[in-house]
Amino acid sequence: MHHDRERLALLTLALVPGVGPVAVRALRAHFGSAQAALAAAPSGWPSLSARAGLARLAAAVDALAGAREAERAERVGVRLIGDHEACFPDHWGAFPDLPPLLYVRGAWPEHVTTWPPRAVALVGSRRADAAACAFAFDLAAALARAGVVVVSGLAYGIDAAAHRGALSAGPGAAPTIAVLASGVDRPGPAGNVPLARALVRSGGALVGESALGSVPGKGDFPRRNRLVAALARSVVIVAAGASSGAHRTAGHAAAYGRDVFVVPARPWDDAYAGNVALLRDGAFPLCGLDGAVAALGFPDAAARDDGAVSGPAAAPPELRWLWDALTSVPTPLETLVERGGRGVGATLAALEGLVQQGLCAVDGARRYRRR
């Protein structure tokens, strides 16, 4: 396969230890192209002598590294996309810290290439409770049904729930993107590798900026979080601690001009301290699933979901009274009896009917929620 020369030069520069996106962009701006910068490396980039940090890196350039990496990418089915290509996000140019080259495993959706991207990022704690994960699952499913790409980071907890929710939307739904801190050929954590495979099979993608085979270090996760924010139009924080990665993702989103939405949560619970802080600082509250797709910037897409967020047509008419009492949050029987105005026996019988139809889920604590 013939690899685009500018893309190959970008890849070679990006593989130099110590050369990050800002340096690659500076080199290209100075020399006019990545190819010209690479050609000037053997001379030590003397025209950059005033910028000794960059000049010293010239000696570390391996002119063949890009070709080796490109061949490996082809072998494992990974696509390389440079920022000089039409399919690269055209709204990233104003942010020099964003990478000029991406690794993509799977199908690269056009939803994210133009501004505003038709994508929403859902993020939160790896240790989020069942109710928060259920909300992320249901919101992601509604977005995917409405043709909006769900972006997250493949971590346990909220990230995994968001990807699974998008996958549950079924045929015709928008794909979901997982942004990795590792090489896209080494998705992790290990427990979510099957989810990563299912995501790619369904038409989604694993995306990252790390070299193939890379195992993430501590500093790679903040880099991953900024890409999650950059790929989306809006970022939703479902559950976040005070110093969590999700909270930092919100900071990146604000820096990139993305809207930040936060699910209101329990102010006495440290697991939601990040939610409370972000709301205090002016983030938009996302108070429920009803109307969420439109609130996140896609009023036209909300109509495509055909009521799937609130589900008025999902239950048969004789069970609508109970469907209206259910939400995406797991709820105990006694609360549903009170909301529905029916007795315990009638409520239980109706719940079993919804469960058998696949419209209601029940957890180990005998709490019920919409599916």
Asked if 274 and 244 count as a contact pair (C-beta separation under 8 A), the reply is yes
Question: What pLDDT, in 10s, does the model give residues 321-337?
Answer: 888 788 766 788 888 99
Range scoring the smallest mean pLDDT among 40-44, 152-156, 242-246: 242-246
Angle formed by the axes of helices 5-14 and 21-31, nearest 10°: 130
> Where residue 168 falls among pLDDT bands split at 50, 70, 90?
very high
Choose the most confident range, by mean pLDDT, from 57-61, 127-131, 356-360: 127-131
Q: Kindly report the pTM of this predicted structure.
A: 0.80
pLDDT at 3: 52
> Where residue 163 falls among pLDDT bands split at 50, 70, 90?
very high
Domains and CATH numbers, the chain: 5-75 (no CATH), 110-304 (3.40.50.450), 317-370 (1.10.10.10)
CA distance 305 to 200: 23
* DSSP assignments along 4-59, one per residue: PHHHHHHHHHHTSTT--HHHHHHHHHHHSSHHHHHHHGGGT-GGGTTSHHHHHHGG
Q: Please give the average per-residue pLDDT across 92-119, as a whole number.
A: 94
pLDDT at 308: 40
Range scoring the smallest mean pLDDT among 57-66, 151-160, 226-235: 57-66
pLDDT at 52: 55
Please identify which residue in the block is written with the tokens 């992601």.
140
Asked whether residue 72 carries a pLDDT value surpassing 90, the answer given is yes
317 is written with which tokens? Answer: 């008419």
Cβ-defined contacts of 329-338 (< 8 Å, 24+): 329/131, 329/134, 329/135, 329/369, 330/130, 330/131, 330/134, 330/363, 330/365, 330/367, 330/368, 330/369, 331/367, 331/368, 331/369, 332/365, 332/366, 332/367, 332/368, 333/366, 333/368, 336/368
CA distance 291 to 145: 14
> Where residue 266 falls among pLDDT bands split at 50, 70, 90?
confident
> Where residue 1 falls among pLDDT bands split at 50, 70, 90?
very low
> Where residue 262 falls among pLDDT bands split at 50, 70, 90?
very high
Instruction: Between 59 and 226, name the one with better pLDDT.
Output: 226
Main-chain phi, psi angles of 353, to 5 degrees: -65, -45
- Computed over every residue of the chain, the mean pLDDT equals 88
Asked whether residue 86 carries a pLDDT value surpassing 80, the answer given is yes
DSSP strand E in the chain: where? Answer: 78-82, 101-106, 119-124, 149-152, 176-179, 205-208, 234-239, 259-262, 284-285, 331-332, 360-362, 367-370
Angle formed by the axes of helices 333-340 and 344-356, nearest 10°: 110
Peptide bond preceding 189 in cis form (omega within 30 of 0): yes
